[in-house]
Structure 1
Amino acid sequence: MADVLDLDLQTLPLDAWHRARSGRMVPFAGYHMPVQYEGIIAEHRWTRIHAGLFDVSHMGQLLIPLDQAEALEKLLPADLLAMNEARPKYSLLLNQTGGIVDDLMITKRADGWYMVVNGATKVGDMAVLDAAGVTFTYLEDQALLALQGPDAVAVIAAHAPGVADLSFMQAGAFALGGTEAWISRSGYTGEDGVEISLPAAAAEAVADLLLSDERVRPIGLGARDSLRLEAGLPLYGHDLDEQTTPVTADLLFAINKRRRTDGGFAGADRILAELEQGAVSKRIGFTVEGRQPVREGARILDVEGNEVGRVTSGGFSPSLEAPIGMGFVATALGAPGSALTLEQRGKLFRGTVTALPFVPHRYHRKGKA
């Protein structure tokens, strides 16, 4: 049966490249994807110290005409009218009840609104855009790579002059390895680094070019998940879903100032009411006593044993050498320092609410250390 199901999975442009480097391939978001090469902890630590190369070509890359801004603002709480060119912004695709359909990155470019959405939700996202009358082009012939870690920018700047001049959340078109690439100084690890959109046909040559630097190693999905968890970044389908609002998810920065006043986006009535009055629950980070992680789905209990929330992400932090997690609890119980009881498979664990991120972000912002 597994072999039959595997036939339904798509392959990445670098599928053979991953396998040639002993990438352990697993099903994820409808694709064969590498979960690890030499081991999750080793790959995690390498990325924190040097530079890791991630293949995230399963993500959906869309290009939307600039004249669609008004239609897009009905779905996103971003202030698109105030956006500067080549400045990526984190935003949210919302449903009519204020739930999060997807989280995404959107950039104003000369040729349109460039949007990167999650791989597991991209088909549904495109259906939402289509139903709202938003025209778009699915850039299915583009690959997407991420080079993350303290050495990442130095590595790529040797092949794409000018990239080092970018600050966090700035982007531009650059020549890289004989092709034109759209490179943004951003990522999903909490580290400095870049994300690279380039023609799929050029992905292998560029991956080889970057990997020729001894500071770079290929990194799989396993370390990508542990890195983003340490950075306190939510994962769609786990920490975010269509029942979660931006307020409960603690993503208030994604609701821009003009939109808080004018509204006009999907679910605005509920979201603006939560902004004013507070939400009944909130996303939190927590640490766990001992060494055993508490995984997604575990119950969070109050002192009387009543369920007051659920764990949505959990794992062992290679950087802190301790178990950490995120979840949702009643707002009154979510202050940093608050004690938690976590119940997993009938076993109780002691936890403490912790401010996010667990590991400080090291994004490159001009004028700041």
Structure 2
Amino acid sequence: MTDAQGALKKTPLFALHNELGARMVPFAGFEMPVQYPLGVKKEHIHTREKAGLFDVSHMGQVKLFGANAAKALEDLVPVDIIDLPVGKQRYALFTNEQGGVMDDLMVTNYGDYIYVVVNAACKEQDIAHLRANLSADVELEVMDDAALVALQGPEAAAVMARFAPETTDMVFMDARAVKVDGVECLVSRSGYTGEDGFEISIPSADAERICRLLLNEPEVEAIGLGARDSLRLEAGLCLYGHDIDTTTTPLEASLIWAISKVRRADGERAGGFPGADVILGQIANKDWTRKRVGLVAEGRAPIREGAELFDADDNKIGVVTSGTFGPTAEKPVAMGYVATEFSALETQVFASVRGKKLPMTVVKMPLVEQRYYRG
């Protein structure tokens, strides 16, 4: 969202981005850094090899208070929130009555409250959805005075340990309130790149100072949205509004792993979330007509979002939803939807690009191995 005057919003790190020479672009109502002087490809590779620092303060951060907060949130997602242990994070989906995905989000149990991070483009609607559906005894606090950054890459843990030694024994999807250079932050060992790393919620007033400290470490470079997109695509991670949306069910999106067993047809807390009949019916009947798949192309020309996919007989069978050249994969990588009969690995399909049909192969995701730290 833009502000009341229609101007783009700025994150607490806006001045720092400009000082670092970032190219700023409009994104989800904010002025955001798409790249720095290093350039998208080098930023991508640096994150894979060392550590990158991303400003993701445009995301929505919310706290839910009250004894019934977990139950109230669980009623809106096909995920086990009630039994989410203190200090653990979980991926979740807001679904609609048609079984479509309204947004994907991260949920953390901090004991005294449930912490939720939602996508920037969906932030206003998600907060309205929560306010409309949470029970009266659940208090919702929007964290408007907090920045959010992600420190990602194989050397992120070593950097983080210098400022918060207690983070070294955290594993993937652990979360803690941790002091970073004396400032209390919410830290989770997670991210959106496929690499080990941390997401750090910092009070806005301290965000620039903490980020300068991290950027002063020799392993760390500032990384923009361009490399964030190529990193997450290689890691097989969905971008909301592109790879998943309100017309997509979790089954079509290959996200059945995100539906907790306890919420499925044979679980003690089965159903009860929006669109449960549709989603549980698809699971029971193995009944969906398209599927999200990974795709690679021959040559070096990237196949972009929106390219239509065809079979060998020139029948349209799907569409590319994300595509770029993968600097680590060293080939054009994409994901998209194909009719289920074309979703088997090694199936050849053809993308229509400027009147030419370019061959692509269905491949296993992630396209680059995920390296989350699991202990």
TM-score when normalising by structure 1: 0.96
Q: Which residue of structure 1 aligns with residue 156 of structure 2?
A: 152
Q: For 1:1-16, list aligned pairs within 5 A.
A: 8-16=7-15
- The residue type paired with residue 41 of structure 1 is K
Report the residue type matching 1:48 in the other structure.
R
Distance, in Å, in 2 between the alignment partners of 1:284 and 1:86 is 33
Q: Deviations over 1:347-369 (max 9, x none)?
A: 21000000000000001011xxx
Q: Single out whichever of 269-278 and 11-20 deviates more from structure 2.
A: 269-278
Q: Which runs of 5+ in 2 are unaligned?
A: none
- Please report the RMSD computed on the Cα atoms of aligned residues, expressed in angstroms: 1.3
Shift in Å at residue 133 of structure 1? 3.3
Task: Please name the residue that 1:338 is paired with.
Answer: 347
Q: For each residue in 1:99-135, what CA deviation from the matched residue of structure 2 results, as whole angstroms up to 9, or x when unmatched? A: 1000000011122110000011000111111221354
The residue number in structure 1 matching 2:177 is 173
Q: Could you tell me the TM-score, scaled by structure 2's length?
A: 0.95
Shift of 1:51: 0.2
Letter in 2 for 1:361: Q
**What's the counterpart of residue 128 of structure 2?**
127
Other-structure match for 1:293: 302
Q: Distance in 2 between matches of 1:276 and 1:91?
A: 21
Q: Supply the AA of the counterpart residue of 1:61.
A: Q
Give the equivalent residue in structure 2 for 1:304. Answer: 313
Q: Does 1:206 align with 2:210?
A: yes
Superposition pairs of residues 14-29 of structure 1, within 5 angstroms? 14-29=13-28
Task: Measure, in 2, the Cα distance between the counterparts of 1:115 and 1:345.
Answer: 42
Match of 1:107 in 2: 108
State the partner residue of 2:255: 251
Are residues 1:264 and 2:272 paired?
A: yes
Q: Which amino acid aligns with 2:321?
A: T
Contact 2:73 2:134 in 1 (8 A): no
Q: SS of 2:263's equivalent?
A: helix
Unaligned runs of 5+ in 1: none
User: Match of 2:233?
Assistant: 229
SS in 1 for 2:120: coil
How much has 1:6 moved relative to structure 2? 10
* 2:92 aligned partner: 91
CA distance in 2, matches of 1:136, 1:95: 21
Q: Is the 8 A contact 1:177 1:205 kept in 2?
A: no
Counterpart-to-counterpart distance in 1, 2:305 and 2:354: 12
Residue of structure 2 equivalent to 1:350:
359
| TM-fit CA distance, 1:71 | 2.3
Identity %, equivalent residues:
50
Structure 1 residue ranges, 4+ long, deviating more than 3 angstroms after superposition: none
CA distance in 1: counterparts of 2:112 and 2:103, whole angstroms = 23
* Superposition deviation, residue 7 in structure 1: 5.6
Cα deviation 1:299-352 (Å, max 9, x = unaligned): 011122111111000000001211010000111110110001111232210000
- Amino acid paired to 2:107: I
Q: Which amino acid aligns with 1:65?
A: F
Determine the C-alpha separation between the residues in 2 that align with 1:121 and 1:289.
Answer: 35
Q: Name the amino acid aligned to 1:56.
A: V
Query: What secondary structure sits across from 2:165 in the alignment?
Result: coil
Deviations 1:142-192 (A, max 9, x none): 110100000001001101111011001101011102210111000000000
Distance 2:72 2:215 in 1: 41
**Corresponding letter in the other structure for 1:132:** N
